[in-house]
């Protein structure tokens, strides 16, 4: 994918906060479609949620503890979306926020995320308005930012690469969510016919060695829903756990 960050594919801009609520807009389009489809990835939405919740009006929080996203309507192929993070609890140790996502005024997704309530070392102490990352004009599929490799029918490997790293030298939390989505949708039968509609991820540690390994396990398939869990580990560090995700997949 060349230089730049996968965040540039989101077309995301931070807006002026509304009191204690942080706000952003983003663009759905080819830059975040799953390969070979016109379907935006829920992992891209999870990344947007992570960004808007972490960029508090008072400064940048880090790290993310957990993040849960649920679609309440099908993701449209294109268009502008609006994200607002409302604080649910700002404690001494943890910040918990609810993120509501709308498309053309209609509810699209809801999310809840938790951060350690500590300011990122590089934070300026106030929220920055404008582009989250410089725009990147590319016709390549969104999945190519991760460049996943199949290890087996339910496991993918993702190398550490500058495009998906954060300032702390590990793979960004949104990229971990996308890796979980990629592994989850490959696992249920029939192959290649599922898409994640709900994603919950718990962050357990950094990916310091790599590659990232994401292994999916199908818990159950009931009618039009497949329940899939994904273990994410640092394959180069004796498969040390780095995240655990649960997903609900529906027919694509």
Residue 21 CB neighbour total at 10 angstroms: 17
Burial bucket for residue 208 (CB in 10 Å: 0-12, 13-18, 19+): middle
Distances (CA, A) of 11 to 20, 36, 73, 219, 235: 23, 20, 21, 35, 32
As a whole number of angstroms, the distance between CA 27 and CA 215 comes to 30
180 & 203 share domain: yes
7 & 21 share domain: yes
Among 142, 167, 195, give the residue marking a domain's end.
142
pLDDT at 134: 82
Report yes or no: 115 and 61 within 8 Å, Cβ to Cβ: yes
67 & 107 share domain: yes
Report yes or no: 151 and 213 within 8 Å, Cβ to Cβ: yes
184 & 204 share domain: yes
Mean pLDDT of the chain: 93
pLDDT at 2 over 80: no
Among 89, 111, 142, give the residue marking a domain's end.
142
CATH number of the domain where residue 154 is located: 3.10.129.10
The pair of structure tokens assigned to 212 is 């990232």
Find tokens 């001494």 and name the residue: 92
As a whole number of angstroms, the distance between CA 72 and CA 210 comes to 35
CA angle 55, 84, 251 (to 5 degrees): 110
The pair of structure tokens assigned to 65 is 């503890």
> Domain tally for the chain?
2
173 & 237 share domain: yes
pLDDT at 117: 95
Q: For 194-209, what is the mean pLDDT? A: 98
Distances (CA, A) of 246 to 28, 65, 109, 115, 130: 24, 15, 17, 19, 33
Q: For 206-226, what is the mean pLDDT? A: 96
Which domain covers residue 181, as residue numbers? 146-252
pLDDT at 1 over 60: no
129 & 110 share domain: yes
What is this structure's pTM? 0.95
The pair of structure tokens assigned to 52 is 């808007």
Q: For 193-201, what is the mean pLDDT? A: 97
69 & 26 share domain: yes
162 & 180 share domain: yes
Among 108, 124, 142, give the residue marking a domain's end.
142
202 & 224 share domain: yes
pLDDT confidence of 103, banded at 50, 70, 90? Answer: very high
Report yes or no: 88 and 97 within 8 Å, Cβ to Cβ: yes
Q: What percent of the chain has pLDDT over 90?
A: 85
pLDDT at 133: 87
128 & 150 share domain: no
114 & 234 share domain: no
233 & 251 share domain: yes
Q: For 178-197, what is the mean pLDDT? A: 94
Q: Does 139 or 243 have the greater pLDDT score?
A: 243
pLDDT at 46 over 90: yes
């Amino acid at each position: 994918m060349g230089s730049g960050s996968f965040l540039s594919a989101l077309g995301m801009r931070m807006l002026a906060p509304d009191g204690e609520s942080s706000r952003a807009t983003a663009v759905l389009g080819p830059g975040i479609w799953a390969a070979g489809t016109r379907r935006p990835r829920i992992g891209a939405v999870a990344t947007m949620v992570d960004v808007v919740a972490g960029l508090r009006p008072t400064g940048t929080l880090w790290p993310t503890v957990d993040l849960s996203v649920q679609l309440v309507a099908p993701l449209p192929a294109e268009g502008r979306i609006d994200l607002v993070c409302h604080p649910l609890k700002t404690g001494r140790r943890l910040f918990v926020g609810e993120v509501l996502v709308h498309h053309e005024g209609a509810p699209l997704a809801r999310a809840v995320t938790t951060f350690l309530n500590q300011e990122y070392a590089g934070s300026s102490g106030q929220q920055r308005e404008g582009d989250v990352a410089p725009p990147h004009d590319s016709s390549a599929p969104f999945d190519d930012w991760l460049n996943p490799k199949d290890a087996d029918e339910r496991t993918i490997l993702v190398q550490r690469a500058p495009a998906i790293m954060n300032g702390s030298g590990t793979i960004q939390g949104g990229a971990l969510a996308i890796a979980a989505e990629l592994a989850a949708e490959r696992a249920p039968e029939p192959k290649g016919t599922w898409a994640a509609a709900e994603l919950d991820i718990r962050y357990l540690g950094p990916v310091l060695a790599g590659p990232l390994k994401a292994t999916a396990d199908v818990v159950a398939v009931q009618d039009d829903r497949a329940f899939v869990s994904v273990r994410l580990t640092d394959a180069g560090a004796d498969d040390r756990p780095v995240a655990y995700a649960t997903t609900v997949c529906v027919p694509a």
